[in-house]
Amino acid sequence: MKRLFYLVTLVTSVFVFSACAEDPAEAIDVEGTFTDKAIIEGYVYLSTNKSSTEAVKFAPEGTLLSFSIAYANLGVVGSSGSYVKTVAVDANGHYSVELPARTDGSSVPVYISGAQVLLTITTDDGRSKDQIFRVTPIQQEIQKGFTYLKKLDYTEGDAFQESETWKVGTYQVKLEYYDGTRRLPVPRDTEVKVTVLKDKFVPERTNDWVFIKKVGANGLLEIKMNAPSLLDGGLTFYWESAFVAEAVTRTGYDNNGNPINTYNDYKFDIGSSVTIYGEKTVDKGTLSATRGAQLTSN
């Protein structure tokens, strides 16, 4: 039985919504044309083993939900594609979305789906693993002027990988930047975007996997992921990040001849391609960010 979800190890939602909207549907001003509205709202839950009182939680804040209505069901003649609206779950697991409805009061079917969520969970033996959670898509009929309450449930999907031979591998690196006078650690909680190409998985995934990790204390970035062994070639992924920090714009002297520095905000970029291996730790030492565009001026 699995224990409490440690949401501090939340990775993020990892699925990108897509909608088919072909001409002339792309040119439709749905919000402006359909002034009659309906509302769907409710709470989103995430659960594992229901025998545990700690196994049912709200879905993580920021989880994306998608609400899709075919243009034809709105009564738009000769138009293909769909109107899609995306909203995020708040910190209390709540969502609310206002959707266009037909003026004549006819029912409009809404297709509701949710982004897949990737969490790191801890089992009773103390091990951690990356686990995917999915919500079963549902349909709701709406009419103008009504509010509909809808509860959505996330349950465990497959593991982050589907090969039983893959084991947890670890990547570590210390990130720093040069402010013109000294080297400093990249700020804690700086977001890092991790991308694993779909063809790296067994079997191959439909989409690339993209998730967010955050830099820890003293600029340490640590990424744990299931990966093939060293003999099987490991797993290759790419990560990238951008952050803003002060750096020296110019060096001068005051009236007494003492050196002074003028600081401004700059954009810094950093990233790397990495291969990790099951049951091994890859320590890449220290990696420095590249200073980019100046954002402020003194």
Q: Which CATH number is 231's domain given?
A: 2.60.40.10
Residues 20 and 56 in one domain: yes
Residues 102 and 175 in one domain: no
The answer to whether the beta carbons of residues 214 and 110 sit under 8 Å apart is no
Residues 190 and 288 in one domain: yes
Is residue 280 situated within a structural domain? yes
Domain span at 177: 167-294
pLDDT for position 203: 66
Residue-wise pLDDT tens digits, 105-142: 999 999 999 887 877 666 655 566 667 788 888 999 99
CB neighbour list of residue 209: distance below 8 Å, 6 or more residues apart = 14, 118, 160, 195, 196, 198, 201
Is residue 2 situated within a structural domain? no
Tell me how many domains the chain contains.
2
Q: Which of 159, 192, 224 is the last residue of a domain?
A: 159
pLDDT for position 177: 97
Q: Which of 159, 192, 215 is the last residue of a domain?
A: 159
Is residue 241 situated within a structural domain? yes
First-residue to last-residue Cα distance in the chain? 58
Q: Which CATH number is 51's domain given?
A: 2.60.40.1120
Residues 139 and 67 in one domain: yes
pLDDT for position 200: 84
Residues 97 and 19 in one domain: yes
Residues 185 and 236 in one domain: yes
Is residue 106 situated within a structural domain? yes
Residue-wise pLDDT tens digits, 56-83: 688 888 888 999 999 889 888 767 788 8
Residues 98 and 180 in one domain: no
Residues 14 and 142 in one domain: yes
Is residue 59 situated within a structural domain? yes
Residue closest to 38 by CA, chosen among 109, 89, 91: 109
pLDDT for position 260: 82
Is residue 85 situated within a structural domain? yes
Is residue 13 situated within a structural domain? yes
Q: Kindly give the parts of the chain with pLDDT less than 50.
A: 1-26, 50-53, 162
Residue closest to 65 by CA, chosen among 2, 5, 134: 134
Q: Which of 134, 159, 184 is the last residue of a domain?
A: 159
pLDDT for position 160: 55
Residues 283 and 191 in one domain: yes
pLDDT for position 56: 66
3 state DSSP class of 252: strand
Residues 155 and 11 in one domain: yes
Residues 13 and 155 in one domain: yes
Residues 232 and 257 in one domain: yes
Is residue 1 situated within a structural domain? no
CB neighbour list of residue 99: distance below 8 Å, 6 or more residues apart = 37, 38, 39, 40, 67, 69, 85, 108, 110, 142
pLDDT for position 36: 92
Answering whether pTM is above 0.85, one says: no
